Chain A
Amino acid sequence: MTKINKVIKTHTSTRNACKLCAPLGASMVLKGIEQAMPILHGSQGCATYIRRYVIGHFREPFDIASSSFTEETTVFGGGENLMRAIENIITQYNPEIIGIATTCLAETIGEDIQLHLAALAGKKADLPTIVHVSTPSYKGTHMDGFFAAVKTLVRKFAVKGTRINKVAVFPGMLSPQDYRYIKQMLFDFQLPSVVIPDFSDTLDGGSWQDYQKIPPGGTAIDDLKDCGRCCGAIEFGLSISEDQSSAEYLSKSYGMPSYKMPIPIGIENSDEFFSTLCTISGHPVPDKYSMARMRLIDAYVDGHKYAAGKSVALYGEEDLVCALASFMSEIGMTVSVCISGCKPESLRKAMEKRVPAVAASARILEDADFEDLLNAIEESPVDLIIGNSKGYTVSRKLSVPLVRVGFPIHDRLGAQRFSLVGYEGTTELFDRIINAIIEKKQESSDIGYLTW
């Protein structure tokens, strides 16, 4: 069978996009910084839509301000509006950091944010720290916005100095639960860390006595400053280009070793993470993780027959798809289709690096949408689909079960608590996958066996 691996665009318009826009990624990063507040420079709609979308997933407050362009603003420039927005944000929220992300509109009319900020600084003393991330969505997806925001913060805050026993970690767009678990792992290696961003509390917090204007938690400014003096930088994501990579930036400008690795999903990916932690910390793997690893292997063994030979379609952010593909190949499932709305070559290159055999055999479609996913599965049928809630229509249409992973998950409860990473996250995901296969088998059997 010849596999068509090249992206052959069959249609001009995007039909049910498998990506989101750049300011969303940037806003998520800012939500993981202590006492930070995002402003989208552009019209009101973008900010409100993004808020609504993210709230549907995390079920937490997610305030984003907008500079609320009007027609005049669009013609004469957004300086006035941006200043007004900043002043109003200070009055209402009093943040320590304001992050400005420029929407497509502001980018198109060529807003000069530095100029606006200089004008504001001349008028008003005591401003919070203001950072600007350029996030035109016609140039990239939500992941581009995410990486750009992280890097902007690192560039802005990192300071040189004597090395400290801390590691800078850039986990990417994972769940708050994953973030908590990553921090736990670092802690157990006695490795103080700076996690950037850190929305483990801000996007999955408790019930409140009084309303919190900006939810407590997030990476502290002092920690951001520290990341220039860290003894290492870990970044999850093989697709991250050199100019997007914060770890590589730190390594180049501040001379620390950087470790760019896949998201630690599956045993091999997690092993890589753990061996890196051993290298940096000088400590062996704590017992509890060796035990967790053994339990995961035990789970693999228990479930391997259900997984054997099952084919799967994966979609979502390029690095998530790549890590999942590696995990799939560990458990004997065949990856038939990989789809991402990412820019061409970024998913493929990551997969070639990490899972060359899968990269050679699977259909990899980049800059693709859910119509492409539907067509691909219709051509090469699969037993299981893994990705965010947006694949539900395809799953329903083709009667193929969907295991919900990634962002957004708005039709199930608990997206903020689903975990994927490390041996334990993988175990949880593995169980969900096998159970989905069993459930499908059970439901579609004439008799409806109870198997054990």
Chain B
Amino acid sequence: MKMTDIDILSDRKRQINKAGTEGLAMECEKHSLAGAVSQRACVFCGSRVVLYPVTDALHLIHGPIGCAAYTWDIRGALSSGPQLHRMSFSTDLREMDVIHGGENKLYKSLIELIDKYNPKAAFVYSTCVVGVIGDDVASVCARVKREKGIPVIAVHSEGFKGSKKDGYKAACDALLNLVGTLPVDTIPRLSVNILGDFNIAGESWIIKNYYEKMGIRVVSTITGDARVKDIMQAHGASLNIVQCSGSMTWLAQQMESNYGIPYIRASYFGIEDTAKALYDVADFFDDPELTDRARKLVRCEVEKVIPQIKRYSEALRGKKAAVYVGGAFKAFSLIKSLRMLNMDTVVVGSQTGNKSDYEVLKAMCNKGTIIVDDANTLELARFILEKDVDLFIGGVKERPIAYKLGVGFCDHNHERKIALAGFEGMVNFSREVFNTVTSPVWKFVPRRQTKKEVYFD
């Protein structure tokens, strides 16, 4: 049987749609289907992703070893100072702990770790097993907080309690324990928080730099290269700028209702969206000088990068791309960026999109583009073949699917080690795409071979 004949599991049929078709409502925000080999992980994964870059906090994973081992230092979230976030701490529960409860072990672990590493706060992640053995994590945290005098926060991230998205919310709830706990008298009016950028390969630094050049103070970056103290003062900022809406909108909404801080959405992937983000922020403050500075900054940066990008975009004209990423918002930006490279997105999907995200995607894409929620390996392989794409954008788990079929690949996940955000990020992105799509290696790949070598028939 050919891969393109693979049937989509009937329970998943309504999670796949095509641009240009009317009336079909997309199903999404569901728990992953059993046996479907989903590409997405669990609630714990979502909270770990968001909180991971808080560099001077202790991250203790309460449960058996796996959840901690698999998330040890695999992400590219850089720090300009402390490196504590890169350690993998686990209570590593054993049989006796599972039987008698792990509260004592958790308490002892916290005390020892805080004494040794002097963190500014501690996050304690509950994983599945903890959820069923009924440890009272909150009360252990409260006790350690009293004894050690730092915030010790329980993150309710039991894997089975939903999907990755619920983990984002659990992380936001954890952060809300910090926000608003320090005085903010010295913060100027022209000030913002950057939400939902995780400083992968230093991207938060790129963005922060733009705002500072515009004369805007960045109070906190949540959570790329974050410091606990900054988060505690985040309520002093005048505006929240939310990238990665899926993960951080909840935090922004809560801060709006608790502290009256409005928020806007932004994306820093691609020239168009980066420029828009800077203009939107300038517009918000309604300050002609600021708008002027933003305009100058954008012009100057664009002039620098356009000639470089052009070189690549000429070579990439007419190539086809498939995009499968975590958040739908990132997918929007990628479609635009690919367009700038003269490429057409023919498959697009996300792990956590909601109904309106998918509506936007449908409207943005050319007729016939496949739109998919919570895809799995076989579906992705099928779409790659069906649409005969030249490029796949995804994460480490998707890489072999592309490579096995002789298709270029670009890592746009949390594990990437190359900055893809901002104007300079667009140059990196273009180069990445160019290097992979136009590589000479594909001519040897069986699926790409036009004429068969006689010897290997």
Contacts and interface: CB of A to CB of B under 8 A. Distances in A.
A17 B35 contact: no
Interface in B393-422: 395-397, 399-401, 403-406
B216 to A, nearest CB: 36
Given A14-B90, A16-B87, A92-B9, A50 B35 contact: no
B311 interface: no
Interface string B36-70: 11111111110000000000000010011111111
Nearest to B105: A12
A2 interface: no
A14 to B, nearest CB: 4
Interface residues of A, number: 74
Interface in A289-327: none
A66 B38 contact: yes
Contacts of B40: 44, 48
B112 A63 contact: no
Interface in A1-56: 11-17, 19-21, 23-24, 39, 42-53, 55-56
B187 interface: no
B69 A48 contact: no
A104 interface: yes
A209 interface: yes
Nearest to A90: B35
A14 B65 contact: yes
B35 A87 contact: yes
A452 interface: no
Interface stretch (B218-226, B238-246, B290-298, B376-384): B376-384
B88 interface: yes
Contacts of A85: 34-35
A14 B90 CA distance: 5
A68 B377 CA distance: 16
Contacts of B69: 17, 19-21
A88 interface: yes
Listed residue (A42, A43, A81, A209) with the most chain B CB atoms within 10 angstroms of its CB: A43
Contact of A48 (B41, B378, B446): B41
Given A19-B69, A207-B406, A210-B385, A105 B129 contact: yes
Nearest to A46: B66
A211 B385 contact: yes
A410 B399 CA distance: 14
A89 interface: yes
B160 A105 contact: yes
Nearest to B442: A207
Contacts of A183: none
B129 A44 contact: no
Nearest to B116: A11
A51 B42 CA distance: 13
B396 A55 contact: yes
A342 to B, nearest CB: 12
A24 B42 contact: no
Nearest to B71: A49
A56 B445 CA distance: 22
Contacts of A66: 32, 34-35, 37-38
Interface stretch (B94-102, B140-148, B251-259, B272-280): B94-102
A209 B385 CA distance: 10
Given A51-B397, A138-B94, A44 B41 contact: yes
Interface residues of B, number: 82
Contacts of A340: none
B454 interface: no
A13 B90 contact: yes
B63 A104 contact: yes
Contacts of B109: 11-13
B355 interface: no
B27 interface: no
B160 A211 contact: no
B399 A59 contact: yes
A399 interface: no
A55 B74 CA distance: 13
A71 interface: yes
Given A49-B70, A138-B129, A13 B38 contact: no
A268 B89 CA distance: 39
Interface in A90-145: 91-93, 103-105, 108-109, 136-139, 141
A401 to B, nearest CB: 20
B2 interface: yes
Contacts of A71: 160-162
Given A55-B396, A211-B404, A104 B41 contact: no
A160 interface: no
A86 interface: yes
B136 interface: no
Nearest to B91: A13
Given A14-B89, A17-B69, A105 B397 contact: no
Which of B31, B128, B131, B395 neighbours the largest number of chain A CB atoms within 10 Å of its CB? B128
A428 interface: no
B309 to A, nearest CB: 29
Given A13-B89, A50-B70, A137-B64, A43 B37 contact: no
A10 B66 CA distance: 21
- Residue from B6, B112, B401, B404 having most chain A Cβ neighbours under 10 A: B404
B400 A60 contact: yes
A74 B113 contact: no
A64 interface: yes
B133 interface: yes
Nearest to B72: A16
| A-B interface, 4 closest residue pairs, ranked by CB to CB distance from nearest | A45-B42, A88-B35, A85-B35, A21-B66
9 contacts: A11-B109, A12-B109, A17-B68, A20-B66, A45-B67, A61-B377, A71-B162, A85-B35, A92-B6
Interface of A: 11-17, 19-21, 23-24, 39, 42-53, 55-56, 59-71, 73-74, 81-82, 84-89, 91-93, 103-105, 108-109, 136-139, 141, 206-213, 390, 393, 410
Given A17-B88, A70-B160, 9 more contacts: A16-B88, A48-B42, A56-B74, A61-B377, A63-B377, A88-B9, A137-B65, A138-B129, A208-B446
